[in-house]
Amino acid sequence: MDQNEKTTEDKIFEAASRIFEEKGFTGSRMQEIADRAGINKALLHYYFRTKEKLFDAVFSKLAGIMFKKLFSCLDNDLPLEQKLAMFYKEHIGFLQKHPGLPAFVFHEINRNPERIARIFSNEQVVIMRKKFYKQLDEEIEAGVIRPVDKMQLVVNIVALSVFPFAARGLVSMILGEGKMKFNDFVEDRKTLLPLFIVNALRNP
């Protein structure tokens, strides 16, 4: 396929992804999606019968990307310290490319909690958790880190990378004008956060 010859379906899907991610389901208009895709409304309905179905397709894709990235960043055989360094580098890098994703996903999950269950097969979580918990247990056993509640730790780790993006309107404002300051701020976190966590876990 030629690079510049996207199918109409792809153009629609990309347009819808941007609009939905930016404005949410209820804030988005089919007309605006059609305009951005460079076609008319009727064609939207020809490809994806309803707004709901179009949204479903987009949300599944975007939420899928987000979770897949999260898990893949934690799924390797590095020792904890390197794993954290790798995680924050990769994960914050990903979020820099999709800064609106967390707030979008969180908002839409609140609007319709059932939706997520379809996408987010618990198996992925269970497997990832099992593996990562095992690693933590071993490092606790070996005395590398102090004993901790593992679920709480996972939430802490993720919170520290995701939160600034979920709240980026606020964080940006406090940091001062311009996208650049926000980007520098999260860039720094790629190296600061692994240290922060490792320190928090160090045995006394």
Partner DNA sequence: GTCTATAGAAGGATAGAC
Partner DNA sequence: GTCTATCCTTCTATAGAC
Binding site for its own copies (CB under 8 A): 22-27, 100, 102-103, 105-107, 109-111, 113, 116-117, 120, 125, 146, 149, 151-152, 155-156, 158-160, 162-164, 166-171, 173-175, 185, 188-189, 192, 196-197, 199-202
* CB closer to DNA, 32 vs 81: 32
* CB closer to its own copies, 53 vs 202: 202
Q: Binding partner of residue 167 among DNA, its own copies, none, CB under 5 to 8 Å per kind?
A: its own copies
DSSP 203: -
CB 96 within 8 A of CB 186: yes
Shortest Å, Cβ 70 to its own copies: 10
Cβ-based neighbours of 55, under 8 Å, separated by 6 or more: 16, 20, 25, 28
Residue 168 CA to residue 163 CA, distance in Å, equals 8
Q: Binding partner of residue 201 among DNA, its own copies, none, CB under 5 to 8 Å per kind?
A: its own copies
- Under rule CB under 7 A, which residues in 23-62 are in contact with DNA? 28-31, 39-43, 45-46, 49-52
Residue 112 CA to residue 24 CA, distance in Å, equals 12
Q: How many residues does the chain have?
A: 204
* CB closer to DNA, 5 vs 149: 5
Q: Binding partner of residue 27 among its own copies, DNA, none, CB under 5 to 8 Å per kind?
A: its own copies
Which residues are 202's β-sheet partners? 145
Question: To which H or E segment does residue 4 belong?
Answer: none
Cβ-based neighbours of 194, under 8 Å, separated by 6 or more: 81, 84, 85, 87, 88
Shortest Å, Cβ 174 to its own copies: 6
* CB closer to its own copies, 134 vs 146: 146
Q: Applying CB under 7 A, does 111 fall inside the site for DNA? A: no
DSSP state letters, 117-129: HHHS-HHHHHHHH
* CB closer to DNA, 41 vs 98: 41
CB 88 within 8 A of CB 196: no
Residues lying near DNA in the complex (CB under 7 A) are found at: 8-9, 28-31, 39-43, 45-46, 49-52
